[in-house]
A and B are shown apart, each in its own frame.
Chain A
Amino acid sequence: MTQFFDVTLRLLEGFKENCFLFGMTLLMALPLGLIISFGSMSKFLPLKLLCRAFVWIIRGTPLILQLFVVFYIPPMLTNGDFSIDDRMTASLVAFVINYAAYFSEIYRGGIESIPKGQYEAGYVLGMKKSQIFFKVVLLQVIKRIVAPMSNEIITLIKDTSLARVILVEDILKYAEDYTRVNGLIWPVFYSGAFFLLFCGILTLLFRFIEKKLDYYKG
């Protein structure tokens, strides 16, 4: 029983790292994704192509490889002069870039789904483009993208365990250590319960948000 307690505490300690990576990635990737989505809808062709190429590259390569690129490639090219030495920071950079690319496409879908007539109505009323976006369009966009966003966000908490490939000490790393070092097998499977619980809470949260936004007719 004390062993179960010890393992739980240790895994919880690792899960804190997953939660930190999850929270910080959301905090930075949500606004960055919006900026990239503006870029890929821009009428200025080079910017549009750059943003679309960026999204193509990031969505087209495995996240695990992107972690390697962020962590190992800069010091290899610069002979060690430029390098992100903190493993968590490097993971954070890779995760923010990766998730911003996915989020940007969700935003783009949401923004482009708003009928053009609403912009025209705004112009007729003498509103500026930014006013129309923030006062009329944005809330409708948020309502429409809650479902696809919740999908991505639930994937994010599970993806955080990938950071262990560059040795961020997350929950799965600790669980696997129990197998490797102590010869205990069950902690690996037990760690799934933490993710399941977290995703359960997220699901309830998203249901609540959807209900709250229910009165905006989309």
Chain B
Amino acid sequence: MKKIIAMLLVCVLAVSLLAGCGSSSKSDWETIKDKGKMVIGMTIFEPMNYKTDSGELTGFETEFAKAVCEELGVEADFQEINWDNKEIELSSKKIDCIWNGMTITDERKENMSISDPYMQNKQVMVTKKENVEKFSTKDGVKGAKVTAEAGSAGEEVAKGDDFFKEAKYVPADAQTKALMEVKANTSDIAIVDYVMSIGTLREGSDYSDLAVIESKSFSPEEYGVAFRKDSDTTKKVNEAMQKVADSGKLKEIADKYNLTDLLLLKSK
């Protein structure tokens, strides 16, 4: 009797490992349409997606995504994700798109389906307010400690740009950590993206003694929305984004968050 029970247990375990290997034939967009909602993967990152004091989600991307989803006739369902896991979240269908100021790169284009670029961004230097003058020139940067998020566009600038040839590079594990390094005087300059710095360096934050060196910027980049590879949703969203731009709504949202200068998608 005991042996039979044990044998059964083994079988159940084996079967449960293999269970549920079916596959659906519906296209990506049809699945989203049937669900009635598009799950939007994002991180909290001012001014793109952030929470107001009352806990409500708002920001440029939040409003833009809502407007596009309205155009598509589905509900926008925002899911906060861990940015490092965005690709795995997307391919495991926990989210339907990554919509959070994501820079379009060739590698990402290869692995995901990416929408038309809608906004532009650039890398800027952030330093202590009193050092802004000093670090505006190549001579000033000589011997300075420069930090950026490892693997980010900022790192490429710090390592590759001629401007930093005689500076010393120290990696940080996030853009905010890079700013923290500057604040703690362990680094002199942080290279972060401009959109991020608008949200973070403001009066009243711990970073209010830091400032952007406005006179110089590096490696312009473009933002896009990422979908699963070969997804038919990309085309639908591209059309809807253009409609939102044509109606003037996109500019209206960008105005609200001071991002109008960076907008790429214009009304035709």
A residues sitting closer than 8 Å to B (CB atoms) are: 42, 44, 46-47, 50, 68, 71-83, 85, 164-167, 177, 179-185
18 A-B pairs, CB-CB below 8 angstroms? A47-B6, A50-B10, A72-B85, A75-B93, A76-B91, A77-B20, A78-B22, A79-B22, A79-B93, A81-B23, A82-B20, A164-B82, A165-B85, A166-B82, A180-B174, A184-B206, A185-B180, A185-B206
Chain B contacts for A179, CB-based, 8 A? 176, 180
Interface pairs A-B: 7 shortest CB-CB: A183-B205, A80-B93, A82-B20, A72-B92, A183-B206, A47-B6, A183-B207
Docked Cα-Cα span, A165 to B206, in Å, equals 26
Docked Cα-Cα span, A46 to B4, in Å, equals 12
Check if B88 sits within 8 Å of A42, measured CB to CB: no
Instruction: Determine chain A's interface SS by DSSP, over half rule.
Output: helix
The winner among A71, A76, A85, A180 for most chain B CB atoms within 10 A is A180
Interface string of B72-111 (1 = CB under 8 A from A): 0000000011100100110111100000000000000000
Given contacts A182-B205, A183-B207, contact A75 B2 (CB under 8 A): no
Chain A contacts for B22, CB-based, 8 A? 78-79, 81
Closest chain-B Cβ to A184's Cβ sits at a distance in Å of 6
Check if A167 sits within 8 Å of B82, measured CB to CB: yes
Total B residues in contact with A, Cβ cutoff 8 Å: 40
Q: Is B231 part of the contact surface with A, judged by Cβ < 8 Å? A: no
Chain A contacts for B24, CB-based, 8 A? 79-81
Check if B94 sits within 8 Å of A85, measured CB to CB: yes
Check if B82 sits within 8 Å of A82, measured CB to CB: no
Check if A180 sits within 8 Å of B93, measured CB to CB: no
Chain A contacts for B20, CB-based, 8 A? 74, 77-78, 81-82
Chain A contacts for B179, CB-based, 8 A? 183
Chain B contacts for A77, CB-based, 8 A? 20-21
Q: Is B259 part of the contact surface with A, judged by Cβ < 8 Å? A: no
Interface string of B12-39 (1 = CB under 8 A from A): 0100000111111000000100000000
Closest chain-B Cβ to A30's Cβ sits at a distance in Å of 20
Check if A72 sits within 8 Å of B88, measured CB to CB: yes
Q: Is B256 part of the contact surface with A, judged by Cβ < 8 Å? A: no
Check if B206 sits within 8 Å of A50, measured CB to CB: no
Q: Inter-chain contact count A-B, CB under 8 Å?
A: 87
Partner of B23, one of A73, A79, A165, A177: A79
Q: Is B63 part of the contact surface with A, judged by Cβ < 8 Å? A: no
Closest chain-B Cβ to A14's Cβ sits at a distance in Å of 13
Chain B contacts for A177, CB-based, 8 A? 44
Given contacts A76-B91, A81-B20, contact A181 B44 (CB under 8 A): yes
Closest chain-B Cβ to A181's Cβ sits at a distance in Å of 5
| Residue in A closest to B91 when the chains form the complex, CB atoms | A76
In addition to A75-B94, A183-B201, 16 A-B residue pairs with Cβ atoms within 8 Å of each other are: A42-B6, A46-B7, A72-B85, A72-B88, A72-B89, A73-B92, A78-B23, A80-B24, A81-B22, A83-B93, A85-B94, A166-B85, A180-B174, A181-B45, A181-B50, A183-B176
Docked Cα-Cα span, A42 to B210, in Å, equals 65
Closest chain-A Cβ to B101's Cβ sits at a distance in Å of 14
Chain B contacts for A47, CB-based, 8 A? 6, 9-10
Closest chain-B Cβ to A72's Cβ sits at a distance in Å of 4
Check if B88 sits within 8 Å of A165, measured CB to CB: no
Check if A44 sits within 8 Å of B45, measured CB to CB: no
Chain B contacts for A183, CB-based, 8 A? 176, 179, 200-201, 205-208
Docked Cα-Cα span, A196 to B224, in Å, equals 43
Q: Is B268 part of the contact surface with A, judged by Cβ < 8 Å? A: no
Docked Cα-Cα span, A134 to B93, in Å, equals 47
Docked Cα-Cα span, A22 to B21, in Å, equals 32
| Residue in A closest to B183 when the chains form the complex, CB atoms | A185
| Residue in A closest to B205 when the chains form the complex, CB atoms | A183
Docked Cα-Cα span, A185 to B31, in Å, equals 42
Closest chain-A Cβ to B31's Cβ sits at a distance in Å of 8
Q: Is B46 part of the contact surface with A, judged by Cβ < 8 Å? A: yes
Given contacts A78-B20, A85-B94, contact A180 B81 (CB under 8 A): no
| Residue in B closest to A164 when the chains form the complex, CB atoms | B82
